Amino acid sequence: MSRHVFFLLWILLQTISAFSQLSPRQEAIRLISQGDAQMRFGNWEQALFSYTNAIQHDPSCGEAYMKRAALNERIGRIQEAMADYSNAILFNPQSAYIYDKRAKLRLIASDYKGALEDSNTAISLNEFDNEFRNTRVDEWIMWGEFDKAITEIDTLIRRGYEPSYELMKRSFAEFHSGDAVKARKSLDSALTINPHFWLSYDMLGLLELREGNPMASIINFNKAIELKPDYALAWYNRAIAFRYLGNKEAAIADLNRSLELNMQNEQIYFLRGIMKKESGDLEGAIEDYSIAAVSSERLYTDVLYNRAYTLKMLGEYDLALHDSEIILSIEPESPEHWNLKGNIHLLFGSYQAAIDAYSEAISRQGDYGEALYNRGLAYCMSYRIREGCGDFEMSKNAGFMRSEEAIRDFCNY
């Protein structure tokens, strides 16, 4: 083999070696482009497959993690999206944008501490980005740190960043701080800047509702809905106002519309379940409570409590008792939950079991007038009149007025 031929072969081998070293990244880029094309046609599953393949070919490709994170976020896979943003940060540790994206997802996932840490990092990397500060405002509000939120909002307003929106946020913070006067003033300023800003009218409706003016609140919710018919929260808020006015039919209609616009909100199912129960539709209430129970961790015990109570009204003893047992396994120190369990036992004539449950409630809250009254009933129904009347007296002393009638009925001995 001549020296020239050997040299050419060596060059060819080196070139092939170089291409083989670059091929994982090149293949990853090709797959990312393929995923982007699928996204344009709305083929999300195929796009997700392409981005995942890109990561498998080149696990250090930060862009692939970012693409997949954005898609996971879009289809509601919040935990998966956060994991992808975390991997993207490993390869782009100076990207304030990625920290901000993960902060917003952590906020959705109720990881307020983690969200605030990410926002602080994003701001430290780019302190002049108003969007990062706006994210931190949301986090302070979720933490209940309203003074800090207002300080950050004022900085953004001075910078001219979306003043009507920031004034509305300041009103929200002032409202939850208990300063209705300042909250209303901030909303007036927001509406002066933008008289068609639906969020400000929704916030005005909440202010009126807090101050006991449901009719005035409905006027403002109507305006918010007129300006933004697909704003689900305004329909939900107006339903609450209708409930205050005793208009159950209108309230349920608004909750139905709110669910059409935001089918994943367990709070809406929960309130609709309450409204259906109050309207006598107990089976419908159970259905809504069951949906809310599956969807919500935050409302879980409240939902189960209401479902157990409704099941009790339907005569579903075993199911009601099952719910009460679950509640007590989660919150064993709650006197209200022990009282509910006692009520279920009492309804079906298990008097000693009811007495035991009421006693648990009273041991946790000695002046719990309702539980004392209920235990008194259980004693009297099991022919232990003296103990029952003793409980009625203690219930009356605790301010539970229904005990006076029970004393007249049971205690003339």
Query: What is the band of 14 on the pLDDT scale with cuts at 50, 70, 90?
Result: very low
- In Å, the largest CA–CA distance within the chain is 126
Please give the mean pLDDT across all residues of the chain.
85
Residues whose CB falls within 8 Å of the CB of residue 229, separated by 6 or more in sequence, listed in order: none
CA distance 129 to 21: 38
CA distance 281 to 44: 40
CA distance 271 to 262: 14
Closest CA to 256 of 236, 270, 241: 236
Residue type at position 340: L
Residues whose CB falls within 8 Å of the CB of residue 158, separated by 6 or more in sequence, listed in order: none
pLDDT tens-digit series, residues 302-328: 878 788 878 878 888 888 788 888 878
SS3 195: coil
CATH superfamily of domain region 333-413: Tetratricopeptide repeat domain (1.25.40.10)
Residues of the chain with pLDDT > 70, as a percent, come to 92
pLDDT tens-digit series, residues 358-392: 999 999 999 999 999 989 988 988 889 999 899 99
pLDDT tens-digit series, residues 322-368: 888 887 888 889 898 888 888 888 877 888 998 999 999 999 999 99
pLDDT confidence of residue 303: 79
pLDDT tens-digit series, residues 141-160: 888 888 998 999 999 999 99
CA distance 92 to 112: 23
Does 16 have pLDDT greater than 50? no
pLDDT confidence of residue 295: 64
Q: Say if residue 398 is exposed, middle or buried (CB neighbours under 10 Å; 0-12, 13-18, 19+).
A: middle
CA distance 236 to 272: 10
Arithmetic mean of pLDDT, 256-273: 85
pLDDT confidence of residue 140: 84
Arithmetic mean of pLDDT, 46-74: 87
- Please tell me the pTM assigned to this model: 0.66
Does 258 have pLDDT greater than 60? yes
Give the angle subtended at the CA of 92 by the CAs of 88 and 93, to the nearest 5°: 105
Region of residue 293 (phi > 0: left; psi between -120 and 50: alpha; otherwise: beta): alpha
Cβ atoms of 215 and 245 closer than 8 Å: yes
Q: Say if residue 380 is exposed, middle or buried (CB neighbours under 10 Å; 0-12, 13-18, 19+).
A: buried
Arithmetic mean of pLDDT, 282-301: 79
